[in-house]
Structure 1
């Protein structure tokens, strides 16, 4: 007995020693970070003194999203701690970028724009089109735009095609091959892990659940995806051809013709791009910089990140406006960005609690005369989606008009929310529809049995005996399927009522089918094709406003999340992580993981379009 007591005492002392060492180590790291932050904060205080004239450099780093959750000042500090290394995961606000370009258009201190897009990781096509609209206005104002890069992928080239001239660095390339969408499928993995996946769904085309029950895409899903993806590629191709003043067949010929032309220049991608009018010049970095400097009479170059919005514009990004500050009626902009889930909003998560609270506060603010609901979401839980929709009902009962602006995606639960609005505006390339519903419950009885673990007990009813360690009773399967069918009936009925269509007409275009915005307009799911600016104009019209201020409702993030999020950016990325980021369906895999992490619907009912995105 004394032996085991001695062993236990020894383990306790060892653990205490390890704990003390751990605490000392963490405290040292904490104090070092605090000292570094203090030093960097004092350095960053001079940012506003950066000259605000010269050539604006659109050196976008990372991705473009509707709304960011991170504090940009803190991000700048962590970037300095990381030796200013490019971060391809950085989030940039679409609307802040366009406001800066709009300001630069009328700013006599800004002589032109240089697009440096090597670190631009992309955006959805509607976001690119919206950004292009402001770049075209800048160009139409008589200010030149030049694009320079070591290579251009399709999303980078979309913006570059607007430029007066495109310079490609020696040995560079332009990748214009077409759109593709890929997904991971896990049926065999689940079979090997002996996970029993119980699926309940309504809708022939409700393919969101396919990755968990198949090893490939169904024919119905392929047919549906091919239709809208082909249309989107055609839209993209015609737009860049128009910007470049070329025929689509010359800009992106058939693969055999492309390979033949490439062979004629000995396989040189840069020479191929030059000979076919895709770029204007192939130069060394030194030559490109020399030409650009001379073109702007050696004016200083100013990064888009250092170009400050004027105070009157910055007010529109402040969601803390008080009655004493407001001189004009407000149009509030509320973001539904990411997977719709119960709880608070975060990066890629549209939290129903956060959004519902924002809508509720707006309804109690006499200064708000209209709302634009910006939706960029593949959907999520029925309960969370309905919580947001019900708040929109409350707003309209208070005679506050609600206009939906659809971004790159407003599908499934995103469309569920939109049904209660006064007016829906979508981009022609918005991915929407996916009116269907499913439920999924994984159980692990076979996995546990494989390692010798079993569960048993008694219950007063088969409906009471549900847990993930045993198979679902047949009665439970029937109950959930009927509940799913009821949810689908509710969804179709909501759409039919809001769109003034018959139930059968909606059911015909529902069944989980995905539609592009231009298709959705023709079948009655949206009211108008346009962009965010059109939604603001419509909201003002419905509210009878001639003058107004935009009140942007931002997603709040805690200081703890900011600090640890920023700290993670300092960590070097492993080779495996870098490879993972380049996988053709890496974003899909992240969505799958996020989906499983947000299986929070009380009735296990989901209106979600899991494979509607990640277009390459």
Structure 2
């Protein structure tokens, strides 16, 4: 019997080895037979969900399954396609472009593609169904032609902000906000402390919206060869049915998808084939690795102390100061790196964490590595703090930036728990052991300590901002006070240097690194992207580096057989999320930046 068991195990082992060998052989064959790029092609892009800035390294969303396109992917693919004689045109199905800064980045990329002499066509079944599609249409106006399904509409209704105010609700619940702010424009806390817009909150929001609206109107007018007054009139008439939109010159034709595809392919040539933009980038070799190395460091999400983390299944990420600071350190120490491009997309977060990253930007510059910041959708509060010490700052006209200010305090919940019949009793040693306890209000002395803390942070923020931006402190303080600005306004105020996206930032990189204007550069992401096995090892508690300066985890090749199972698990998680079976915990209190509806 024992011999039989040993023999059976041997057979199983042999079969396992053969299976592994067969799998390796199949992978080699697949790699060797990688599809090529057609001789004549039309680049195709489906904007059915907002583009990401970055796919987190520790996310299974980045390791398995269909790859989510990033803003940089699209920009680089269009740059490559513009110079590729095989690429005849571009076709984009526009549904959800994301925020205004992303739309502006894409508009710039499409315009550059068209400048090479190639045609760009936008198509959608409808611009908005039951909601505004001003953003989608604004993006579409950067294309040569816009086609709309005959049954579609153009819901070009403008821009708006809806801000919730819950002071009375908190009062009914027995919750007392005790949150200080510096200063009157630091309005995130108003959700808790007010029941409507204060004068300063309204002033700042209306100014912000006015700037965005002006950008949208000018862009549409330029793209559709209309006057700004005509565009404003059409916005007031919207939503417009398909035929009315055609007569108003907002679209170039009412066609179904199959008709648009046939038209585009016929114009490109009989042998033309459609190829998704990400497939083209992959098959054509991706971004060129020739030229001088420029480090690309991402700072995406809410800023927290410690390491960047993400929901490994969903992909939502935090901006961990320790991780981003390490990436900046590694880039500054790499002798091949000529400069650092720091891409920031953050509404802020921890003051201490923000200062950790700001310090590494400063140290990189002291080591002779220029740092250029490229702001995406948000670079506000802590997002501005990490940016302000760079050599130059580039923002899109619609980037939400500034918010140089601070808030902090606590929510007193004693009355709320009492209404539920729950009593908390606290034992403490130390005069202010309960300083930030939510079960007791601030004493006058504790309130003074909280105020002093806010004053210290605000003073530090404004002084470092003035130093980093080379502005007199009085001038900086006049545009601070917690106020948010569009990138367009921020440039006029000296808070940013230039308007644009990746291409403009790379112009400044070449200038700062003393490279020729037409010098080729290779963008190298720091830290390197993790392999799937490393992602799994981190999730399971492995992957620890040798020391705190090592961003590379231990290789976890033994976990590779688990990859298919983890991919299936990810698919099940996403299905459950769509069905509402799980999600973020209820009752989380947040005061996010107001979402612009457009």
TM range (shorter): 0.7 to 0.9
Residue 395 of structure 1 corresponds to 364
2:574 paired with 1:611: no
- Per-residue CA distance 1:517-550 (angstroms, 9 max, x = gap): 2222222222233332222222222222344422
Q: Is the Cα–Cα contact under 8 Å of residues 407 and 426 in structure 1 kept in the other structure?
A: yes
2:35 paired with 1:49: yes
The CA distance in 1 between the partners of 2:167 and 2:276, in whole Å, is 47
* Secondary structure, counterpart of 2:69 in structure 1: strand
2:505 paired with 1:519: no
Residue 125 of structure 1 corresponds to 100
2:573 to 565, 568, 572: 568
Q: Is the Cα–Cα contact under 8 Å of residues 462 and 476 in structure 1 kept in the other structure?
A: no
2:278 paired with 1:305: yes
* Secondary structure, counterpart of 2:101 in structure 1: helix
Residue 251 of structure 2 corresponds to 279
* Secondary structure, counterpart of 2:185 in structure 1: coil
The CA distance in 2 between the partners of 1:240 and 1:71, in whole Å, is 40
1:471 to 441, 451, 456: 441
The CA distance in 2 between the partners of 1:72 and 1:293, in whole Å, is 37
The CA distance in 2 between the partners of 1:489 and 1:71, in whole Å, is 36
2:270 paired with 1:291: no
Residue 107 of structure 1 corresponds to 84
Q: How does 1:319-330 map to 2 (within 5 A)?
A: 329-330=292-293
Residue 422 of structure 1 corresponds to 391
Range with bigger deviation, 516-525 or 219-228: 516-525
2:70 paired with 1:98: no
2:96 paired with 1:116: no
The CA distance in 2 between the partners of 1:521 and 1:477, in whole Å, is 37
- Per-residue CA distance 1:156-178 (angstroms, 9 max, x = gap): 22232233322211210111111
The two structures, once aligned, show a CA RMSD in angstroms of 3.4
Q: Is the Cα–Cα contact under 8 Å of residues 105 and 396 in structure 2 kept in the other structure?
A: no
- Per-residue CA distance 1:184-211 (angstroms, 9 max, x = gap): 3333333333223220211011101111
The CA distance in 2 between the partners of 1:349 and 1:595, in whole Å, is 17
Q: How does 1:259-270 map to 2 (within 5 A)?
A: 269-270=241-242
Residue 464 of structure 2 corresponds to 494
The CA distance in 2 between the partners of 1:134 and 1:446, in whole Å, is 55
* Secondary structure, counterpart of 1:171 in structure 2: coil
1:192 to 160, 172, 187: 172
* Secondary structure, counterpart of 1:225 in structure 2: helix
Instruction: Report the Cα offset of residue 234 of structure 1.
Output: 1.0
**TM-score between the two structures when normalised by the length of structure 2:** 0.79
2:120 paired with 1:145: yes
2:144 paired with 1:164: yes
- Per-residue CA distance 1:80-99 (angstroms, 9 max, x = gap): xxxxxxxxxx9531111111
The CA distance in 2 between the partners of 1:591 and 1:238, in whole Å, is 42
Residue 453 of structure 1 corresponds to 422
Q: Is the Cα–Cα contact under 8 Å of residues 490 and 496 in structure 2 kept in the other structure?
A: yes
The CA distance in 2 between the partners of 1:201 and 1:126, in whole Å, is 27
Distance 1:568 1:447, change over 3 A: same
2:306 paired with 1:343: yes
The CA distance in 1 between the partners of 2:407 and 2:29, in whole Å, is 49
Q: Is the Cα–Cα contact under 8 Å of residues 176 and 411 in structure 2 kept in the other structure?
A: yes
The CA distance in 2 between the partners of 1:591 and 1:97, in whole Å, is 34
2:338 paired with 1:366: no
- Per-residue CA distance 1:382-426 (angstroms, 9 max, x = gap): 011011011112112212221222222211111111222122222
Instruction: Report the Cα offset of residue 72 of structure 1.
Output: 10
Instruction: Report the Cα offset of residue 457 of structure 1.
Output: 4.6
Instruction: Report the Cα offset of residue 556 of structure 1.
Output: 5.8
The CA distance in 1 between the partners of 2:440 and 2:341, in whole Å, is 46
Instruction: Report the Cα offset of residue 253 of structure 1.
Output: 0.9
**TM-score between the two structures when normalised by the length of structure 1:** 0.77
Q: Is the Cα–Cα contact under 8 Å of residues 463 and 476 in structure 1 kept in the other structure?
A: yes
Instruction: Report the Cα offset of residue 568 of structure 1.
Output: 2.1
The CA distance in 2 between the partners of 1:593 and 1:373, in whole Å, is 34
Instruction: Report the Cα offset of residue 372 of structure 1.
Output: 1.6
Distance 1:334 1:162, change over 3 A: same
Unpaired runs of at least 5, structure 1:
1-37, 80-89, 263-267, 317-326, 581-589, 597-608
Residue 195 of structure 2 corresponds to 215
* Secondary structure, counterpart of 1:487 in structure 2: helix
Distance 1:72 1:494, change over 3 A: closer
The CA distance in 2 between the partners of 1:359 and 1:514, in whole Å, is 27
- Per-residue CA distance 1:290-343 (angstroms, 9 max, x = gap): 433433344221122322346664465xxxxxxxxxx75421111111211112
The CA distance in 1 between the partners of 2:167 and 2:134, in whole Å, is 32
Q: Is the Cα–Cα contact under 8 Å of residues 50 and 306 in structure 1 kept in the other structure?
A: no
Q: Is the Cα–Cα contact under 8 Å of residues 355 and 386 in structure 2 kept in the other structure?
A: yes
Residue 604 of structure 1 corresponds to none
Residue 230 of structure 2 corresponds to 250
Residue 442 of structure 1 corresponds to 411
1:182 to 135, 159, 162: 162
The CA distance in 1 between the partners of 2:184 and 2:101, in whole Å, is 28
Distance 1:165 1:369, change over 3 A: closer
Instruction: Report the Cα offset of residue 155 of structure 1.
Output: 2.4
